[in-house]
Chain A
Amino acid sequence: MNPLLAPAVLTAAPGETREFLSPAGVEIVFVLVGLVTLGAGILCVTSRQLVHAALYLVVALGGLAVHYLLLTAEFIAWVQVLIYLGSVVVLLLFGLMLTRAPIGPSPDADSRNRPVALAVAVLAAATLVTLVADAFRTTWIELDTPHGRSGDIGASLFRHWVLPFELLSVILLAALVGAIVISRKRGPAPAEEEQR
């Protein structure tokens, strides 16, 4: 168990005195980190500086990792930190670098259909939040016993989900080879093709 999780679990709701408007400690932490995550996400999609957008994405994904920890899914949290924050964002930064993204603010980061996008996003958010809040108004997650310990996840992964896991490794290999093939520089065609 990691140190972030321990106080959150200890101060969780005891079970009978829970109310919607009397949040326990874990819920307060969740809401605060959620505000940070949501703010970073909004800044990520609205920032005009491309590298800043990638770094805001780091904050948002890191906040999601904290949420996984608060939901006692520690293995997923560390996988999120390792893969999302460690590799995906680095790949994105490399992509920005290789497409010669400007360092300062780029005025054409947003396209012309921005009001339409805003309307669609607000409508989607309103619909989803209304639906979800109405559907799960009286539902509580019991966090007293952790549910996502690494041992359990590993046993489940390699006992019940081993075939999709192997399939996923094949997919990753195919994606890697495909990325190399696509992004390989095409030189003068005949010589390189003969070498291949």
Chain B
Amino acid sequence: MHLVYPAVLSALLFSTGVYGVLARRNAILVLMSVELMLAAVGLNFVAFDVWLRDTLHSGQVFTLFLIALAAAEIGIGLAIVLLVYRTYGDNAVDRLRALGDRRADGGDAGRGTDPGRDAGDAGDTGDTGEPAAAPAGGAAHEREAAA
């Protein structure tokens, strides 16, 4: 098989994932696009591994690791998205703008709409670009403060 076929398909799928990550608003759809990008990278790994006939099977073994890491990433990411949704009642990544701890800021740093339940408890949210990193740190900090 011509190596161009899998390489081009992988590049196109990766670009599709890039579009999804940039254009989607729902955080779970962003996670789906990330999965698409990871899967495209896996196709590249396998194609080049089969082309090079690697005796250690590096590309395929790394694809296995990639799939497992994608599973771990989707678990953590969905947990964070669920926490954000439970806290703010919304998981649109461009409406979650506050980075800080709302309780320390005095109450109006986050979004205005509180969904009720434990809205005042964990006051953390992601910025528009990366919804995953900031809430994790904020939640851990909150937990330490609570304990």
Contacts and interface: CB of A to CB of B under 8 A. Distances in A.
Interface string A81-114: 0011001100110111011010000101111111
B46 A45 contact: no
**Which applies to chain A's interface (DSSP): helix, strand, loop or mixed?**
helix
B130 to A, nearest CB: 14
B39 A96 contact: no
Contacts of A143: 1, 50
A12 B12 CA distance: 24
Interface of B: 1-9, 11-26, 28-29, 31-33, 35-36, 39-40, 42-43, 46-47, 49-51, 53, 56-57, 60-61, 63-65, 67-76, 78-83, 85-86, 91-94, 118, 121-122, 136, 139, 143, 146-147
Interface string A151-188: 01100110011001100100110011011111101100
Given A99-B28, A148-B57, A176-B75, A132 B4 contact: yes
Nearest to A189: B146
B119 to A, nearest CB: 11
Given A113-B23, A125-B15, A64 B82 contact: no
A129 B4 CA distance: 9
Contacts of B22: 113, 116-117, 120-121
Contact of A153 (B18, B43, B60, B65): B60
B35 to A, nearest CB: 6
B78 A44 contact: no
A160 B60 contact: no
